[in-house]
Structure 1
Amino acid sequence: MTEQKKARQVNIRPVIESSFTECMEQLQEGYVFAVAATAGCTVEVTKRDIYGTDIRIIRPAAEVNGEEITVLAQLKNTTTVRPDPQKDFFSYQLKKREYFDKLAMPRRGPKAILIVMATTPVQADWTKGSHESLELQYCCYWRSLEGETAADGVKSPTVRIPTANVFDASALTEILDRLDREEELV
């Protein structure tokens, strides 16, 4: 284990160490579910990561005989990246080349996006509740990788995520509107 990795692990403060990673996934799913609900969409969790995506977000058709709009998403949550909104982007390294390749391949059907959540390593600080609201700390960012390439031999590609791409209900609505108009996701 590298010294850098050991230093990062020292900063992680889980409530229960054995479930920390699963709770990170659950936190991000909850975030995405809340955003989708606010945008009038439903979410289906993919039980097996066969297609390189974790969830399917579906917006129902506006008309009775209309077609729903769907976007697939690969979810990643990290405690090691702290995006700076003053900068145009932050870098995120995918652990497997396969994740990148699945997101980058051109798709005829539903398009796919990467959603990266930047989370504090202090699990007890993930949410704060009051009588008026439940506040979720930090946020998710999205990016379409369709058509992108990574150098041959790179096992863990690094992607740039624009800090302007905060994943919220407005962003999700715009993503689905673009897909409905058959426009590129940029």
Structure 2
Amino acid sequence: MYKPLDSKDIESELSYAYLHAVASAAGVNCQIENRHGDNRGIDTRLTCYGPFEASYKEEIDLKVQLKATVAASAETGTHFSYFFRGIKQYDFLREETKNQHRVLVVLYLPEESEKWLSVSPEQLILKNCAYWLSLRGADASANSSGTTVYLPKEQLLSPENLLNIFERISKNESLKYVSP
């Protein structure tokens, strides 16, 4: 069957669809960034409107770099690994000089593309799930091609966990990278 997009493009679009679905279920605005934002490691901007409990803030933005992979992840008891290609974007995400919070979201897809999405009159299923990670304060990469990062299994990107990220930011909690 002819597909107008290659598999990497489809993976990317599914990561947008996943994020948009989770954000919508959480009542969070999801806006795709332009190419200039993408050059800075930002694919989307999420906006959550308060008020937030025990906070004076009423609107919070979160910038997101999206990735998708079919590569088998090395797994520890508590983390998934992901090889982050693109040191320039990695460096933008790990900088501590940015005012707005930034996170990496990685969608892990099955290896076989025919298993990625299932549609029936009863349900729409996107296989596997995404996890989020703040790279703020992470170490510089030791090489120029990429670096392996570790996403905590507890940081499943769900509507509840997304709202928790905004609650944490509303209380001025810094989302920082913690090496496993």
TM-score by length of 2: 0.85
* The one of 41, 46, 52 aligned to 2:33: 46
* The one of 59, 71, 76 aligned to 2:67: 76
> Does the aligned pair in 1 maintain the 2:39–2:89 contact within 8 Å?
no
Cα distance change of structure 1 residues 15 and 175 upon mapping to structure 2, 3 Å threshold: farther
Query: Looking at CA atoms only, which structure, 1 or 2, has the larger radius of gyration?
Result: 1
Corresponding position of 1:62: 51
The correspondence of residues 37-186 of structure 1 with structure 2, limited to 5 A, is 37-48=24-35, 49-62=38-51, 67-82=58-73, 84=75, 87-186=77-176
Cα distance change of structure 1 residues 38 and 83 upon mapping to structure 2, 3 Å threshold: farther
Aligned-partner Cα distance in 1 for 2:94–2:4: 34
Equivalent position SS for 2:155: coil
Residue deviations 1:125-170 (CA, integer Å, cap 9, x gap): 1122333321110000110010111244443111111112111101
Cα distance change of structure 1 residues 62 and 93 upon mapping to structure 2, 3 Å threshold: same
Larger relative strand fraction: 2
Shift of 1:82: 4.0
Structure 1 runs, 4 residues or longer, greater than 6 Å off: none
Corresponding position of 1:8: none
How many residues align structurally?
171
1:140 alignment partner AA: A
Shift of 1:102: 0.7
> Does the aligned pair in 2 maintain the 1:15–1:123 contact within 8 Å?
no
Compute the RMSD of aligned alpha carbons. 2.3
TM-score by length of 1: 0.82
Residue deviations 1:96-127 (CA, integer Å, cap 9, x gap): 11121011001442200000111113222112
2:78 alignment partner AA: D
* The one of 9, 20, 28 aligned to 2:7: 20
